[in-house]
Amino acid sequence: MTSVIPLAQFFLLFLFLSGACFAVGDTTDTKSIDFFEPKKEPGSDQDVFKTQGGMGSDFRKFGEEVAQRIDRIVKKKTFEIWGDPWTMQGIPIVFPSNASGFNLGLRLQWQNIRRQDPHEVEVIAQVLASDRGRQKHIVQVDFPWAFKNRFRVTTLFAYDRDVSIRYFGIGNKNPFSQALLDANDPLYSHVQEGPTLSLSWLYYLTRQIRVGPVLSLKWTNISAAPGSVLEQQQPSGVAGGRSHSMGLALIFDTLDFEPYPSRGNYHELFFNAYQKHLTGSQYDFTRTTYTFRKFISLNRRLIFAHRTLFEYLSGDVPFFELGAVGGTASAQALGGDRFLRGYEANRFIDKIRLIMGFELRWDPIFAGFFGQDMTVGFVPFFDVGRVWPDKFPNEFDNWHASGGWGLRFIWNSRLVLRFDTAFTLDGARILVNLGNSF
């Protein structure tokens, strides 16, 4: 992780060398804009308060001031394409890893911010490769207000070749040797590789409620290391194959600003069916995922954030799907850098899982740099969770917990660079990734 330190120093340097430095909340930012409208020229048919003095004049002056402030904010952070304001964030990805080697890549994000709740259009592209064969490439396009604000349409294409993913066995308690892991012993090793294509088409019942189908096509190739736990146990899915699914999503969302929320609730219920006769999957099983997130603004610089995730899988579930959490924030299961941070990814996998996370997000430092908003934040966190087999949970001991603190660099309230130091019973780990844990 030696390359992380110079990167952190670089961010701190430009924050304090920038022209202006404020605490978060002391200056207007893009989170205050809901919908972009160009300024109206005096004398247009929109200039309805054209009187001299009196209430009409006060309203007109107030409206002009608001329009001018919005215009300055939009121009400061954006460029125009076909009359719409766009913003872009990009960051090189450079870091060494004991498990995956030296990683090099680039991530870019573009948003049309004619709307700010969260955007009119967003495009995310990432390329990442390592000298040991790891690959992680992503292209995602999101239209939150498509077809006259009636649908949210999101499509994703990803190609992953993960050489550092581990298999420790299925269950809440598995034999584990940190010394073998640190020595890159092949006991826990295997390689997962393949593309994923997904499409969600959600209809707005109200502004806060959306529902609709979700289609996912996924191909996975598995290469088990000779003598590994995976080769010894031969769980379902050891030969890889297709895990295509068709499902339904129901979301209730009152978040104030999706890219970096400070208040509101988020309930998400996802049901996915992986069926041979329906989707062409090689495995017959179902996945039901419920996610709850809550954000409370304790003051303008401090946010309490919470997430609860409960997931139930039933049927012939391949082990590589046991190691994935469903929903819109799909990721590796318990362990890694998003769920139960600090443990190895897939440290605990089974058909039923409950995970809770808590954070205090303190964003005390704001700086303007080349017309961009840069924020430094500090985040103490605590995670707890466990898994059960395919039956109603009847054991409530042996919970796994982790805690620690993190550092955040936030670009225009949209791109988050995350550094976490997490402590578990297995030891301490430094985690670096993009985006908040939730």
Highest mean pLDDT among 76-85, 104-113, 209-218, 427-436: 209-218
Q: Mean per-residue pLDDT for 36-42?
A: 42
Q: What is the mean pLDDT of residues 408-427?
A: 89
Mean of all residue pLDDT scores within the chain: 83
Supply 362's token pair.
């303190």
| Residue 376 Rama label (left phi>0; alpha psi -120 to 50; beta) | beta
CA within 13 Å, CB half, 73: 21
Which is higher by pLDDT, 392 or 114? Answer: 114
Residue 34 pLDDT grade (very low, low, confident, very high; cuts 50, 70, 90) = very low
Q: What pLDDT, on a 0 to 100 scale, did the predictor assign at position 219?
A: 97
**Exposed, middle or buried by CB within 10 Å (0-12, 13-18, 19+), for 98?**
exposed
In whole angstroms, what is the distance from residue 317 CA to residue 351 CA?
8
Q: Tell me the Cα Rg of the chain.
A: 24
pLDDT for residue 154 = 97
- 218-242 confidence digits (pLDDT tens): 999 999 988 899 999 999 999 999 9
- Between strands 415-424 and 352-369, the pairing is unpaired
Between 372 and 193, the more confident residue is: 193
Per-residue confidence (pLDDT) for residue 64, from 0 to 100: 52
Residues 394-400, mean pLDDT to the nearest whole number:
85
Q: Tens digit of pLDDT for each residue in 148-162? A: 999 999 999 999 999
Lowest mean pLDDT among 42-46, 114-118, 229-233, 335-339: 42-46
- Over range 351-356, report the average pLDDT: 94
Say if residue 29's pLDDT is above 50: no
How confident is the model over 290-319, as pLDDT tens digits?
999 999 999 888 999 999 999 999 999 999
The predicted pLDDT at position 8 comes to 45
pLDDT above 60: residue 26: no
Q: Which amino acid is at 344?
A: E
Q: Mention every residue, 6+ apart, whose C-beta is less than 8 A from residue 232.
A: none
Residue 265 has pLDDT above 60, yes or no: yes
Amino acid 411: pLDDT: 84
Confidence at residue 100, expressed as pLDDT on a 0 to 100 scale: 86
Please state the rounded mean pLDDT for residues 196-224. 96
52 alpha carbon, distance to own chain's centre = 52
Percent of the chain with pLDDT over 70: 82
Question: Where does the pLDDT of residue 61 fall: very low under 50, low under 70, confident under 90, or very high at 90 and above?
Answer: low
d(CA 403, CA 428): 10
Q: What pTM value is reported for the model?
A: 0.79
Give, rounded to a whole angstrom, the gap between the first and last alpha carbons of the chain.
23
Q: How confident is the model at residue 75 (pLDDT cuts 50, 70, 90)?
A: very low
pLDDT band at 358 (very low <50, low <70, confident <90, very high): very high
